[in-house]
Amino acid sequence: MCGIAGVWFSKEAEVVGINPADIAIRMTAGQQHRGHEGAGAIFARHKERGVFLEHKGFGLVYDVFSPEAIARMNGHCGVTHNRYSTTGGSSHGNIQPLTGIMNNGDGVEVMHVAHNGNLTSELRRIQPSTSDTWSIVHNFGAVNSERKIHQRIFQALKNVKGAFSLIFLYQDKNGKNSLVCVRDPQGFRPLWLAKYKFNSGGKRRVGYLAASETCAFNKIEGAEIWRPVKPGEIVVINEDGVKSFKPKTWRGQRLARCIFEYIYFMHPASLVETDDFRKNPVHVWQIQEALGREIAKENPDLRADSVNAVPDSSILHTQGFSRQSGIPDDKAILRDHSTGRTFIAPAGQKNESVGTDERDAKILRKLAVLIGKFFGVSSIIICDDSLVRGKTLKRIISYIRFSLKNFRKSIKIIAVIMSPPIKFPCFYGINISTKRELAWNRFGGTVEDVSKEIGADDLRYLSLEGLLRVAEEFSGHGRGKWCTACFTSEYPTEIARKEYLEELN
């Protein structure tokens, strides 16, 4: 899972003091929750052939991009990326955007690409690094350069399977810059467009923004959310305007939007992709609250003195659960926001002396539990958005029991999970690529086994039926239009990569 963004402005933008690079970096920071490993950006200026302004590094967006770096990147158009690695390790060469340079003897063309998703087709030529996105760069370079840009991109992608939301910055042999947005025909990952209107030279002009989520546009005063890039659509933005292309062979394919995006990944402030989002906007927070209400309806027998969220990703789910069940919503578990999300932290080297890795270490220091809130109660509910590896919830419960033991007190702890059991690997951009790392499989494959292993007295999961019911109610998308492979093993695309086939077999 990654965050991608792009901007395209005419030269007049700089005349009125607009810095498109600053806009793009702010959008990228607005999607920080989609990747903490590294960030990169590449910008171009119109009429300056072969000149590109690039900056990349490890860390959070504003650790990588200082104010001085942003000021230096004064291009008119560009692409950015914040990385959360799935395919490919944590190397500088895997930090996107990635670049392809094509020279057929008639001039040099340059293509930069930012990719959110993961490919399931067999990969070839993924050097000079291990990112699967290099196969897209290679495919593009192999297409006849006489074709139009949208045709060339389609040819590069037509045999590619898996999840790909892409933003290209393309400069042709004459120095003309285009921003191209592409979404795979099944729509696994989100991608949105916005407009930025400004006046220059007595004329009304428009700049164009693209990002994985609409929360990125909320960081830009004056940005107007336009629309999502549709599954199977190629949008080309340049000095000739905006043109949309929908290749015939991409039409009519089964939609498979990732349902886990709405459970955990997407920012609560982002819009849900609905047919009437302008007239009746639906936000991610509404789905998350509804999931909490749904699991409370499914478990009317649950009783406790308080319900507590594992912050921050479960706060809205927990509010919904509390309101439906009538159990008071307490705030006994707090979050230190400086540590980032542990789910998207890269796993580090195992440290045998403490039995932990980088992800474990962050769990230990990101949370604060207000133990005193549990002195006057006999039972509590802890809500989490999902139970993937089980490490966070297990450590929280263990800490609570250890701390209360010092006061010679014990309480009943019930774990409530706002998604069905995650049993199968994801090959579409979520970093759970093996069965053995999943709590459900590691801990025994039953609710009772998992409950015992994490230290809970009781464990409840949301049903798949309930999840799909909520998703359909709020999005309008039927139950067959979601990817639920991590719950069901029903993968919407062909799985051809050797390492994935070995895992499934």
- Per-residue burial over 308-338, b if 16 or more Cβ lie within 10 Å, else e, is bbbbebbbbbbbbbbebbebebbebbeeeee
Check: CB of residue 425 under 8 Å from CB of residue 434.
yes
DSSP labels for 448-481? HHHHHHHT-SEEEE--HHHHHHHHHHHH---GGG
Q: Indicate which residue of 2, 77, 181, 215 is catalytic.
A: 2
Do 393 and 387 contact (CB within 8 A), yes or no?
yes
CA 420 to chain centre: 20
The two structure tokens encoding residue 217 = 């546009």
Residue 230 CB neighbour total at 10 angstroms: 16
Length of the chain: 505
**Residue 123 vs residues 2, 59, 113, 462, 465: alpha-carbon distances, Å:** 20, 28, 17, 36, 35
Phi, psi of 498, deg, nearest 5: -55, -45
Q: Which amino acid is at 56?
A: K
Residue 308 near residue 377 (C-beta atoms within 8 A): no
Contact partners, residue 402, CB within 8 Å, separation at least 6: none
Element at 321 (helix H, strand E): helix 315-325
* 190's tokens: 């989100």
Q: Is 51 helix (H, G, I), strand (E, B) or coil?
A: coil
CA distance linking residue 79 with residue 62, whole number of Å: 16
The helix/strand/coil state of 46 is coil
**Amino acid (1-letter code) at residue 180:** V
DSSP string, 401-427: HHHHHTTT---EEEEEESS----S---
**Cα–Cα distances in angstroms (integers) from residue 503 to residues 132, 498, 499, in the given order:** 18, 9, 6
Q: What angle do CA 498, 117, 320 make, to 5 degrees?
A: 120
Give the DSSP H or E segment for 242: strand 241-245
Active site (annotated) includes residue 2: yes
**CA separation for the pair 127, 223 (Å, rounded):** 38
**234-238: strand order across its sheet:** 98-103, 108-119, 162-171, 177-183, 234-238, 241-245
- The gap between the terminal CA atoms of the chain, to the nearest Å, is 25
**Enzyme catalytic residues:** 2
